Chains A and B, each alone.
Chain A
């Protein structure tokens, strides 16, 4: 019998704790597949955030860390400075990276820290129960924005890829989505590219992944994918925001 598919060695056998229809599982898988394909599992160090992916260290089949909320880029910096030959990546949500950890992510990019941030943007705080995130869309309801996000009150959703791309130390910034098989393939390619650029020592790399949260959005997984495409993608435009070719290529 031919083996036509095998789970990546980059993931442990531990069952994911994620809700039905959540796209974290997909992002874990493509991240670890990319590392395995690059032959870097023995060099990889993954840093889990505080958020839904807080247990990611149990799924990554490589050396790992659990950081305090928002501090993963600083922890990654400490590890990378001690082991420059390691592939060091953070896996962070939008509360972690775009709210409490904005200082750490901006400064890591600014230093051109040779790490990769996998930034999962699902426009909401998942683990704590659906509170408003900096990335929550205008009008989108959240448990701390029961009337919908009002831009006069809470500002407009933060666009991290656009912002980080302006920093000279950032070498590769791309926004992808995992709503269709084609987009998932593109997302994996982007993550692999970011890891390669880290290996080349060119600077800070980040891949923002638009993701769903059916539970806190109050939708079926299918409706959630549709909502992502119809509401998130027009605002958070997919594309490469920074690459070695230099200029911003807005897709």
Chain B
């Protein structure tokens, strides 16, 4: 396969179309505009439909409609726009419909900024919609992962009938890197017999619905969703570890931040300072088990995030009180430099 130089936002679109996505509903917001622009140009060429909605709220409800109609459908937005989509995401999760949602995050709260940010960790993994629901969250760190994870996201969404969020940031969306589109293996998937397509008077009506007014039924529904979530936690965790065995300190970072952390770790190893890295590739399910690989000799864990500390809550759960946890954050839209991270690591080790 030949490599193509591609912008992150366009890579999302190209990978989605390659995965069979034929419907896109969205609303403009920086820094993800190249996704709807790409889809508006490319979807008509493959018989698909791009529609610019009047709001993020309408867009996610159009996704709700198309997903229940049996289509592979995607929407994308950035932080404040994802906030508006939360009601719809809750409904889609409740109705067990598959869809893919790309969040090219920017700084918040409120209007915030447009520079890269990871302050939507809670928004993506915990969600702002109501009820006991979950969304699978992928966190690509480079554009090849954007391509691969977007392709997989559609299969995983269909397999579990659940919304999948891809958590990126302005840097991933805007940058160009070489990518390859290799043939995906794909997962074996059941036909969508539950979809609303018109009965043709050949089957009993299908209904897409999240209302369970009898409390026993709602309880049953929620426990069933929960067992699905448990299966996802068991089967779909993705992470990468780097030299945990001899590490004095382990750094935890995802997405854009993990790239810089990796180069800091490699620089320090050249200086003879042994540092390890845990990089979650899925933020939910979170790779709690990766932390079991940390040896007892480790002096501590450092979490690096472009926020004031959100993933650190999951790190604390994973750590379960074993090691001291340190935090390094940049919540304004700047990506921490490798040298600054190295200095911080050294100062922790000297303590």
Contact = CB atoms under 8 A, between A and B. Distances in A.
Chain A directly contacts chain B within the complex, with at least one CB pair under 8 Å: yes
A83 B198 CA distance: 9
A75 B87 CA distance: 13
A107 B210 CA distance: 25
A87 B87 CA distance: 26
A66 B65 contact: no
A45 B198 contact: yes
A74 B62 contact: yes
Q: Is the interface of A mostly helix, strand, loop or mixed?
A: mixed
Contacts of A156: none
B58 A43 contact: no
Interface residues of B, number: 39
A57 B197 contact: no
Interface string A103-120: 110010001000000000
A63 B67 contact: no
A78 B199 contact: no
Contact of A82 (B23, B199, B209): B23
A62 interface: yes
Contact of A65 (B54, B57, B58, B65): B65
B64 interface: yes
Contact of B198 (A63, A66, A74, A81): A63
21 contacts: A42-B198, A42-B199, A62-B198, A62-B205, A65-B196, A67-B64, A68-B91, A71-B57, A71-B58, A71-B88, A74-B57, A74-B65, A78-B65, A78-B68, A78-B73, A79-B66, A79-B69, A83-B69, A86-B198, A87-B198, A111-B51
Contacts of B71: 82
A64 interface: yes
A43 B198 CA distance: 4
B201 interface: yes
B196 A107 contact: no
A122 to B, nearest CB: 21
Contacts of A64: 196, 205-209
Interface in B46-87: 49, 51, 53-55, 57-59, 61-71, 73, 87
A92 B61 CA distance: 16
A54 B61 contact: no
A31 interface: no
